[in-house]
Chain A
Amino acid sequence: MTASSTLRAVLKQPSGVVGVALVVAHVTMALVAPMIVPHNPTLQSAGAILQAPSWTHPFGTDRLGRDLLSRALLGGREAMLIATLSTVAAMLWGAMLGLFVALQGGRTDAYVMRIVDAMVSIPWVLMVMIFVAALGVGARALIPVLSFSYGLSVVYIARAAALDFVARDFVLAAQARGERRVTILWREILPNVRDTLAVQGAMQWSWILLGISSLSFLGLGVAPPAPDWGLMIADGRGIMQAAPWTVLWPMAMLSSLIVGVNLAADAIAKALGVDRTFGVAAP
């Protein structure tokens, strides 16, 4: 299916429309936000602490007097950037390894997957925390460890998707011809798993975004005073009762983006006819 026909098929589904709309809205916002924010997001103002939503501050202010609307609009940028870079890296190495072991089979497959199994058993949060403890915080520095952790689940999915094709006669025919392994992976297998991987990539992106927000929440991700949804929720947690707007806006932003991506991914999967049962997330 071509890109435009896929898009049309996606937009025929109500979930697809909602999903795509949300994603487009968020991406646009992330791109143009710096130009349209009404206030300086890091400007503290002792006189304007914890104000309820008003005309000057439509989202209210936080405990340091910063305008929440501006912070909310900008809160996704850093996280989205990190998520994008990490996702690309994770998909690249995860898919390469997964496809390779699927084709190779035999002992290589067994050994590699054993090791992957072992590494997946350790919670990614723990891995990140250890990493941060050893090397210090820097959100951009998280990219390698995030790509590694999330890449592990990509290995499973790429391998499972490839296994469907590896035993088929046309792959056997290529082997019989004497095609090189790289050629077989690139020409025969990859085009057939491309759709599954694309949908998976979209979902991985949303999970990594979720992960980064969780890390920011724990104080291990984006560093203050930069605006970030996870940080904002952590900030406002203690005063939730008195000032619920400090947590509700960032929650709504974060959730709407992630739900949007997953709805869109769901709709794309249906449009492309991709099997969804591979979608086990790494939290």
Chain B
Amino acid sequence: MPRKIAGRLAAAWITLVVIAVVVFVGVELMPGDACTAHLGRDAARAEMLTACRDRMGLDRPPVERFALWAADLAHGDLGVSMKRERPILGIVGPRARNTLILAGAAALAGVPLAILLGFLCGLRREGPFDIVTSTVALVAMTMPEFVVASLLILIFAIWLGWSTGVVTAAYDAPALTLLLATPLPAITLALVYIAHILRMVRSSVIDTVGADFVLMARMKGVPERRIVLRHILPNAILPSISLIGLTLAWLLSGVVIVESVFNYPGIGRLAVNAVADRDLPLIQAIALLFGLFYVLTTLVSDLVAMALNPRLRSLRG
């Protein structure tokens, strides 16, 4: 078992390294570099361009620059923002915290709800609850985030006046203030992946309900309630955990749009600003951060799956 965990950690680490390479190569491949992007029209002036490149060390060969960048990363130094001329870590740090609060709120509220709903739908397949819930899920899955966001603002902020709609808290406000600002953006974020996870769990439950071991439990004379709780539930949910983690990771990248619409001070909104500013080092760092987040989410869900699922524990540990 410990060998399996170590293997999974190693795989995550390798993925991170590959992400770093991919991000770096991606930025390299684009026409121009950090200086031409930052200077914009001024880049035509040769002395400004050379001064900038000197400062950023852009005249060195790519491999060397990558190594330097990687070494800096290892020390927690994300580089310096071109536009704001401050260390990136200071810019990104608090905003990453804010996004985590938002994503965390969305996940903690949404995932258990999704699993529960999916489970109930699968048990009473094609029943009224299932049909209604599945249809709502389908519609929710297909609405663009910005549509949902706008609708929620329309309903809750403008018509009902329950919330301010757009977030007014600053990026360095205390965590609790930000938490209280999360309901609408969190709902927007969660709606889509709740629908996905719900459908996945539902499908898994349907498969499990028809399994031979469930029939066997009935033939033993086990009462229905116990069958649902001890035979169906674990076998429907456990195999889905990894996939749930993957879905979560994929869909939480929707923070970019959600934060933009609600003006929430997280790294999603920062990313949009960074692109508008053409601040390449900052963009690079943010891309890497997203990658890190994705890897961590999938890693945690895989480890949870391994911990809970006896099959994964002992197969060729």
So, do A and B actually touch in the complex, CB under 8 Å? yes
Contact partner, B138, options A125, A132, A230, A259, Cβ 8 Å: A259
Alpha-carbon distance A132/B243, docked complex (angstroms): 32
Q: Mark A251-283, 1 if CB is under 8 A from B, else 0.
A: 100110011011100100000000011011111
Q: Which of A114, A131, A213 contacts B144 (CB 8 A)?
A: A213
Q: Chain B contacts of A254 at CB under 8 A?
A: 144, 147
Asked whether A129 lies within 8 Å of B275 as measured between CB atoms, the reply is yes
Interface residues on B, range: 35 or more
- Contact residues of B between 247 and 284, Cβ < 8 Å to A: 247, 249-251, 253-254, 256-257, 260, 271-272, 275-276, 278, 283
The interface on chain A, measured as residues whose beta carbon lies within 8 A of the other chain's beta carbons, has a size of 51
User: How would you classify the secondary structure of chain A's contact residues: helix, strand, loop or mixed?
Assistant: helix
Instruction: Answer whether A133 and B37 are a contact pair too, CB < 8 Å, given A240-B154, A247-B154.
Output: yes
Q: How far is the CB of A255 from chain B (nearest CB, A)?
A: 6
Q: Which of A191-219 contact B (CB under 8 A)?
A: 206, 210, 213-214, 217-218
For residue A134, CB closer than 8 A to chain B, the reply is yes
Q: Select which of A123, A261, A281 is within 8 A of B256 by beta carbon.
A: A123
CB-CB contacts below 8 Å: A1-26 with B: 15
Q: Note all chain B residues with C-beta closer than 8 A to A88.
A: none
Chain A residues, CB < 8 A from B15 = 114, 117-118, 121
Q: Is A43 an interface residue (CB 8 A)?
A: no
Q: Does B66 contact A (CB under 8 A)?
A: no
Contacts A133-B278, A259-B139, A277-B200 given; indicate if A214 touches B145 (C-beta within 8 A). yes
Contact of A122 with B146 at beta-carbon distance under 8 Å, contacts A134-B30, A134-B32, A259-B139 already known: no
Cα–Cα distance between A134 and B32 once the two chains are bound (Å): 8
- Give 1 or 0 for each of B215-253: 1 = CB within 8 Å of chain A CB: 000000000000000000000000000010011011101
B294 at interface (Cβ–Cβ under 8 A)? yes
Q: Assuming A122-B23, A134-B37, is B142 touching A283 (CB within 8 A)?
A: no
Report chain B residues within 8 Å CB of A133. 37, 275-276, 278, 283
A126 and B142 contacting across the interface, CB-CB below 8 Å = no
User: Which A residue's beta carbon lies closest to that of B197?
Assistant: A280
Among the listed stretches B57-65, B75-83, B109-117, B285-293, which one makes contact with chain A, having 4 or more residues with CB under 8 Å of it? B285-293
Q: Are B192 and A263 in contact (CB under 8 A)?
A: no
Cβ of B295 under 8 Å from chain A:
yes
Partner among A117, A129, A206, A218 whose Cβ is within 8 Å of the Cβ of B142: A206
Measured in the bound complex, the distance between the Cα atoms of B232 and A100 in whole Å is 36
User: Is the C-beta of B309 less than 8 angstroms from some C-beta in chain A?
Assistant: no
B254, B272, B283: the one within 8 Å of A283 (CB): B254
A42 to chain B, nearest CB (A): 23
Identify which of A123, A124, A134, A214 gathers the most chain B CB atoms within 10 Å of its CB: A123
Q: Which of A218, A233, A258 contacts B260 (CB 8 A)?
A: A218
A281: which of B22, B146, B249, B250 is its contact (CB, 8 Å)? B250
Minimum CB distance partner of A128 in chain B: B275
Are B146 and A217 in contact (CB-based, < 8 A)? yes
Interface string of B198-218 (1 = CB under 8 A from A): 011001100000000000000
A135 at interface by CB-CB < 8 Å? yes
Contact of B18 among A118, A132, A266, A279 (CB under 8 A): A118
Residue of A nearest to B140 (CB): A259
Q: Which of A82-116 touch B at CB < 8 Å?
A: 114-115
- How far apart are the CA atoms of A283 and B253 in the complex, in Å? 8
Say yes or no: is A144 at the interface (Cβ < 8 Å to chain B). Answer: no
| Contact mask for chain B residues 179-210; partner A; CB cutoff 8 A; 1 contact, 0 none | 00000000000001000100110011000000
CB of B308 within 8 A of chain A? no
What B residues does A15 contact at CB under 8 A? 135
Q: How far is the CA of A121 from the CA of B17 in the complex (A)?
A: 12
Given A130-B283, A241-B158, A118 and B291 touching (CB < 8 A)? yes
The smallest C-beta distance from B159 to any residue of chain A, in angstroms, reads 8
Binding site for A on B (CB under 8 A): 14-15, 18-19, 21-23, 26-27, 30-32, 37, 135, 138-139, 141-147, 150-151, 153-154, 158, 192, 196, 199-200, 203-204, 243, 246-247, 249-251, 253-254, 256-257, 260, 271-272, 275-276, 278, 283, 286-287, 290-291, 294-295
Q: A122-B19, A133-B283, A280-B246 are in contact. List 20 more A-B contacts (CB 8 A).
A: A114-B15, A121-B290, A122-B22, A123-B253, A130-B27, A133-B37, A134-B37, A206-B142, A214-B144, A214-B257, A218-B260, A240-B150, A241-B154, A258-B142, A277-B203, A279-B199, A280-B196, A281-B196, A281-B250, A283-B192
> Which residues on A are within 8 Å of B, measured CB to CB?
15, 114-115, 117-127, 129-135, 206, 210, 213-214, 217-218, 230, 233-234, 237, 240-241, 244, 247, 251, 254-255, 258-259, 261-263, 266, 276-277, 279-283
